[in-house]
A = this chain, B = another copy of it.
Amino acid sequence: MLVVKVGGSQGIPLDGVCEDVRDLVRQGERLLLVHGASALTNWLSAALGKPPRFVTSLSGVESRYTDRETLEIFCMAYVGKMNKLFVERLQQLGVQAVGLCGADGRIFEGERKAVIKVVENGKRKVLRDDYTGRVERVNTALLTLLLDHGYTPVLCPPAISYAGELINVDGDRAAAVLAGALRAHTLLILSNVPGLLRNVHDERSLIPHVPRAELEAALALAQGRMKKKIMGAAEALAQGVKRVVLGDARLPHPIRQALSGQGTRID
């Protein structure tokens, strides 16, 4: 069992990922794809006159402020556009892809955190009416059912709260919880950087290996969105996943290359 998360930043091509998925599925690998769509959501938000707003939690983690209007824009970008582009490309390659968001069949379930404390422009604020949360439970039965019948799940946020509200959740951490729940051997987290960098401005400063014991130091080193990937890696390992690889989604064969030693291996 392999879980592959592909980021949603600008400049990540679908083709390499989808071709690698096809090859692995043909070889009999049980594989689930999780994707983001953050750049697309920013674009759609701006186009609809509701520019994205990012807030930083007191512990320094950045996230998208998601009121109800933003949530619906988020769904259009993630589920309506990016998810369908992946399904279409995979179907063209002969993969029986089924696109689902975390709300479908309660695949990703968690608690909504309506009130968040953030720092904005150096000032502490309390924001209400946020539709965000964190994945705590996975409907593995539905995913196993699909895998057992030859379907390849293509998953994305939003998740669903226990009360049944759509909620924005971090895709990297959702993929981590998913990998743990399915007892995946490997979680790949592919994005538009080569892996964890010692110096964020120098792609040659890649750290090829982070032993589990050094995850805390890695988290301190990580900048911006890489923070959540390291947090996701830690969560996955804690739940029994054997290794996490932070790989480069821009490579011609991003999955194959991450599996064969490129990127940052965490185990």
Contact = CB atoms under 8 A, between A and B. Distances in A.
Interface of A: 44, 47-48, 72, 75-81, 83-84, 87-88, 91-93, 96-101, 103-106, 141-142, 145, 149, 151, 158, 160, 163-166
A149 B76 CA distance: 28
Task: Point out which of A47, A92, A103, A142 has the most chain B C-beta atoms below 10 A from its C-beta.
Answer: A103
A145 B146 CA distance: 9
B142 A151 contact: yes
B80 A103 contact: no
Contacts of A84: 75, 79, 101, 103, 158, 166
Contacts of A75: 80-81, 84
Task: Point out which of A48, A80, A103, A151 has the most chain B C-beta atoms below 10 A from its C-beta.
Answer: A80
B88 A160 contact: yes
A79 B86 CA distance: 14
A100 B100 contact: yes
Contacts of A104: 87, 97-100
Contacts of A96: 105-106
A78 B76 CA distance: 9
Contacts of A76: 44, 76-77, 80-81
A76 B47 CA distance: 14
Given A84-B158, A84-B166, A98-B142, A91 B103 contact: yes
A182 B97 CA distance: 22
Contacts of A48: 47-48
Nearest to A78: B80
Given A80-B79, A151-B142, A164 B106 contact: no
A106 B92 CA distance: 11
B80 A164 contact: no
Given A47-B48, A97-B104, A105-B96, A88 B166 contact: yes
**Which 6 pairs of residues, A with B, have the shortest CB-CB distance?**
A80-B80, A92-B164, A76-B80, A76-B76, A91-B164, A98-B105
Contacts of A158: 84
B92 A103 contact: no
Contacts of A106: 91, 96
Nearest to A90: B164
A149 B148 CA distance: 14
28 contacts: A44-B76, A72-B81, A75-B81, A75-B84, A76-B76, A78-B80, A79-B79, A79-B80, A79-B83, A84-B101, A84-B166, A88-B166, A91-B106, A91-B164, A92-B163, A92-B165, A93-B164, A96-B106, A97-B104, A98-B100, A98-B105, A99-B100, A99-B101, A99-B103, A100-B100, A100-B104, A141-B149, A145-B145
